[in-house]
Amino acid sequence: MSKQVSLNQEQVEILTGLKADQKFINPKYFYNHRGSKLFEKITQLDEYYPTRTERLILESCANDIAQYIDKQSLIIEPGAGSCKKIEYLLEAIHPSVYVPQDVSAEFLKQSAERLSKDYPWLTVSPVVSDFSEPINIPSEFERHTKYVFYPGSTIGNFEPEDAVTFLRQMRQLVGETGGIVLGVDLHKDNETLHAAYNDKKGITAEFNLNTLAHINDILGASFKLDEFEHLALYNSQQQRIEMYLKSLKAARYEVLGETLSFEKGELIHTEHSYKYTIDGIAELASKSGFKLAHSWLDGDELFSVNYLQAD
């Protein structure tokens, strides 16, 4: 008789994914301490265009973006992390209140304190929660027109129907008079996309494989990183990057009372990253209760920053 093991919610979630017909790990498990450091390295790679391209758009178009946003407004940023990107817009928009939201309390506190020091005219009111949960705005700020800032093409990590659900939640949050500034990666040639997720230095491969190290810690497991390899490809029909961990051998692992079997060549899905056309962004907005008011693109049309107005 196997020993009963009491599992927490995280462990149940991971094991459920690893026992599915198409094995998967939620992409949030990319981000332990090492994973976050590796992602910072990815953003600096020559092949990885999204971070630097979005930054250039935000910096060069800040005054144009500000034309769509009321002065003395309230800006909400789900998954704000370091709160660095909002700084490209703060002087141009000059909101009264900034509400960064993130799951990491200590990191968010440090980011909020830094912003309060650098922008003494700005009220910074951090909210610690998972952005899949409703973001509760303090009642004293209800009078402000509300806008969401959601950069970084994170919307592409949602399945399309989940992206609509998320944006509908944001539409409810901003009400009838607000909107959302949304970063979206654009559909483009396969070669550029393949290079962005298969860099020559192998940093993205390290980042993907580190997911196994993270779940080893959570599950008390002993997956060996050298028994898997990184695989990323662009599915042009679905307009998405698909990222996997590929098993290099047939193996069985005993994990928390469960037996996990892998065939040689079997894939663990770790991420989808959808790429959109401008028409696709307009359709996404329409399904979510917004309308696409304006898009700002770089000269090579690699990336877009969009303003969606409540409709």
Taking all residues of the chain, what is their mean pLDDT, rounded to a whole number? 93
Mean of pLDDT values over 95-110: 88
Q: Which of 14-18, 112-116, 138-142, 210-214 has the lowest mean pLDDT?
A: 138-142
Beta bridge partners of 179: 147, 309
Report residue 24: phi and psi, to 5°: -150, 155
Strand, helix or coil for residue 256? coil
- Distance (Å) of CA 82 to CA 61, 126, 155: 21, 12, 18
Nearest of 96, 6, 70, 56 to residue 307 by alpha carbon:
70
Q: What is the pLDDT of residue 169?
A: 95
- Is residue 250 pLDDT above 90, yes or no? yes
- Is residue 3 pLDDT above 70, yes or no? no
Alpha carbon distance 79, 104 (integer Å): 9
pLDDT tens, position by position, 167-208:
999 999 999 999 999 999 999 999 999 999 999 999 999 999
pLDDT tens, position by position, 124-159:
999 988 766 778 888 899 899 999 999 999 999 999
- Is residue 2 pLDDT above 50, yes or no? no
Percent of the chain with pLDDT over 70: 98
